[in-house]
Structures are given as C-alpha cells and as structure tokens.
Amino acid sequence: MTGFLLPLASLFPPDPALGSLVALLAVMAVSLTSRINVGLLAIVLAWTVAVAVASWKTDAVMAAFPSSLFITLLGVTLLFGAAEKNGTLAAVTGRVIGFCGGIVALMPIAFFLLASVISAMGPGAIASTALVAPIAMSTGVAARVPAVLMALMVGNGANAGNLSPFSAVGLIVQAQFVKVGLPPSTASVFLANFVAHTLAAVAAYCLFGGLKLARKKDMAEISAPLVKLTRTHVFTLLVLILWVASVVLLRVNIGLGALAAAALLILAGAVEDGAAMKSVPWAVIALVCGVSLLVNVVEKNGGIDLFTHLLSKIATPSSVNGVMALVTGILSTYSSTSGVVYPTFLPAVTGLVEKMGGGNPLEIALSINVGAALVDVSPLSTLGALCIAALPAGGGDPKVLFRIMLLWGFSMAIVGALFCQFFIGWFA
C-alpha cells in the first residue's frame, strides 16, 4: 500500500512535521483557487503523508477521523433538516422576522445577542451555535441577509459569551488561572473576550452588508407569510425544545441527542425518513471532516508545533501579548481551543515570563484567551462548520461561504494579535 502512495508522497518533504504542514498549506491554497471539494483532497493527502511519510498504519489514519465532529454535524443537520422538510422552520422563521418588527437590519444583531446569551448561560459556544445557527441561517435566507453575515454574527455571538463564569469553557480557563497562580480574573476574562468578539461582529456587520440592509428603504419592513402551526409543527417544536433542554441542563451530547430527536420525529411520522436524509448536506460534511482529518494528522506529526515554535521564538517582553495571540490564533485554527490551546499555553504563562525576563502574566493569559477564540468562526472549527452546514438549500454556494469564512478566520489571527498587543492591557 505504501508503494502505491510513494509517487504522491514524493511531492512532500520527508520530515513528517514539515511534510504534513506542506500538505495542509496545499489544501488551503487549493480551497482558495478551485471549486473542488477539498475535503476529498484532504483525506487523500492525510492518508498519503501519514502512511508514506510518517510510517503510520492505515488503522491509525482511520482513528484520526473526526468522528465526534461527524456525529455532531450529521445529527444537527438531520434534525433541523427534518424540521425544515415538515414546515416547522418556515413557521418559526416567519415569527422571528415578525419579532424583529420586519426590520431586516436588526436580524443579524438579534441572532448575535441570542447566541451570546445562550452561550454565556452555560452550554458554551458549540452548543449555542448548534441551537441558533439553523434558525438564523434559514431566517437570513428568507430575509435576504447575506449568508456570510449571518454566519459570522452567530459564530462571534456564541464565542462572545463563551468565557462567562457560568460557561464550561469559562470554568476551564478559571481553573487554569488558579493552577498557575494567576489572580482570580472572572470579569477580565469575560470582558476581554466579549469586547473582542463584539468588535469583530461590528466589523462583519459593516463589511458584509449590514449597513446596506439598514440603508435600503424598501427593506425597512419585510412581510413573511405566517405559516399556520399544525400538530406536526407543534410536536416538532416540542422535540426541539426537549433536545435543547437535554443539551443545556443534562449535558447530553449534541450530535447523539440530535440523532435521537430526529429518529423520534421519523418514528412518529412527523417527517419522511427519505426526505430528512436528503436534507443532510453531505458535501459540506465531507468538506469539513476531510480537512479536519488532515489537521489531526498534521497535529499528531508535529506540524503545528513546528510552526508555532518558530513564531514563539520572536517573542519579547514588549511584543509577547501580540505574538502569543498570533501563535495561539494560528494553532486554534487547526485544533481545539478549549481542549488543546488553553490547557497547553495557559500553564506556560509564568514560565514564559521568567524566561523572557519580563511581561505581565495576566495580559499574556488574556491574550491567549482572545487570540485563540477569535479565529473559531473559521470553517475549520466546529462553530464555522455548524454555520456552513446550516445553510439551507437555495441559500447560496457552501463552497463560497467556506472560502470567505476561511479567509476571515485567518485574518482574525492577525486582528487578534493587534488587539492584544495594543488594547489587552485595558482589561488586566
């Protein structure tokens, strides 16, 4: 099998860390210049580099597949696809538009606030996005709001509340602060993150059509037909509410809970199973999971460590806030913010200050928090993936949305570095 892959493997450096990093950069370049589903290319390159360059067994490549992300995307899209097919989402969308007074320019703002509040209450950013994105994206299509604007408002809103003292991720960060001897900084941690994401949302609103919506006089009000609620709609809404409650209150796995809820709707005759399965965006799931597989291969072979190590070498006491935000932002683009970046970098803060001979530990810690989180609306993260997967049929090309959000995610690494370098001291 290795011999079969050798011709392709010869295109990459023999060092596993460097070779895997080159493969990832190649996929990123293709994603920006071609209409191919790069998830398929990513799977092929992950297999090639892992087996032929890094000498992995094929079983190890299969084990690196992001099964948790796959289940989350499949479950959520199947559940809300069922709700779309039986007309429940249309009924909800019309009422959401009515709740905003028909003022289209307010809708992205309303969903930003909704995602932020839900996230801050405890479920965190991923759960908040899973709950809000399907309704937000379908409402955006109905109200002719650009899909990228709605996706960025939901993603940034979910992340804005993610470090509240009630959120699971916020508790993780606070525990790391205590572990390394940093002072309790609940307000600083939350406010720095919330302000950074609010500013990012304002920028997205201005850049992707929010101001245009506000200026259009003929869009001051929009009439959406109110679909009469049927027993099927009411039953579907009850199932959705139970799913939300199970995720928020009982910490049920989002994807598995969504699959159970979708199965209940099908068994109860609220939707045809064939119609529900056809609503699953398989191309998007292949895209996101394929790239995530390659990212896992890169990470396990040391490619991300190689890149971030080179960047960290340029840090000085005067530039460390910006450098650490940049490093953690780039790393977070390809790996879990709460599961990898925070547990890896926050414990190293005090040691880093000692080695450099200067620097404010709290400012560095806040820079790690903000820099790592701002990039999480990238489609390489679960938040961005959920927003893309929630794009309804007729709402635009998901590949185009993928490219725009990918560029936005990368740009946020630089924006986060600048924000932390010049402004993070305000929150320390």
- pLDDT higher than 90, residue 281: no
CA distance 68 to 76: 12
Q: Which is higher by pLDDT, 347 or 61?
A: 61
What pLDDT score does 385 carry? 86
Taken in order 220, 97, 278, 405, the sign of the CA dihedral is positive
Residue 221 confidence class, pLDDT cut points 50, 70, 90: very low
| Alpha carbon distances (Å) from 230 to 86, 91, 159, 300 | 10, 10, 35, 51
CA distance 13 to 6: 12
For 53-62, the pLDDT digits (tens) are 888 898 999 9
Closest CA to 359 of 424, 294, 416, 404: 424
State percent of the chain over pLDDT 70: 84
Q: Residue 350 burial (CB < 10 Å; 0-12/13-18/19+)? A: middle
- pLDDT higher than 80, residue 167: no
Half-sphere exposure of 314 (CA within 13 A, CB side): 11
**Residue 2: both structure tokens together:** 């290795």
For 289-308, the pLDDT digits (tens) are 887 788 788 888 887 677 66
Q: What amino acid is encoded at 263 in this protein?
A: A
What pLDDT score does 330 carry? 84
Cβ-based neighbours of 170, under 8 Å, separated by 6 or more: 162, 163, 164, 186, 189, 190
Q: Over the range 86-117, which residues count as b (16 or more CB within 10 Å of their CB) and which as e? A: bbbbbbbbbebbeebebbbbebbbbbbebbbb
Average the pLDDT over 344-373 and give the result. Answer: 81
Give yes or no for a contact between 119 and 160, defined as CB atoms under 8 angstroms apart. Answer: yes
For 362-386, the pLDDT digits (tens) are 888 999 999 999 998 888 888 888 8
Q: Cβ–Cβ contacts within 10 Å for residue 2, how many?
A: 12
| Alpha carbon distances (Å) from 348 to 138, 178, 277 | 43, 13, 46
Q: What is the dihedral of CA 346, 352, 353, 357, to 10 degrees?
A: 180
- Terminal C-alpha separation, the chain: 55
pTM score > 0.75 for this model? no
What pLDDT score does 428 carry? 76
CA distance 406 to 401: 8
Q: What amino acid is encoded at 353 in this protein?
A: V
CA distance 186 to 166: 10
User: Which of 105-114, 175-184, 205-214 shows the lowest per-residue confidence on average (mean pLDDT)?
Assistant: 175-184
What pLDDT score does 218 carry? 45
Give yes or no for a contact between 21 and 303, defined as CB atoms under 8 angstroms apart. Answer: yes
Q: What is the mean pLDDT of the chain?
A: 82
CA distance 367 to 386: 26
Give yes or no for a contact between 177 and 364, defined as CB atoms under 8 angstroms apart. Answer: no
- pLDDT higher than 80, residue 343: no
Average the pLDDT over 373-401 and give the result. Answer: 85
Average the pLDDT over 253-260 and give the result. Answer: 88
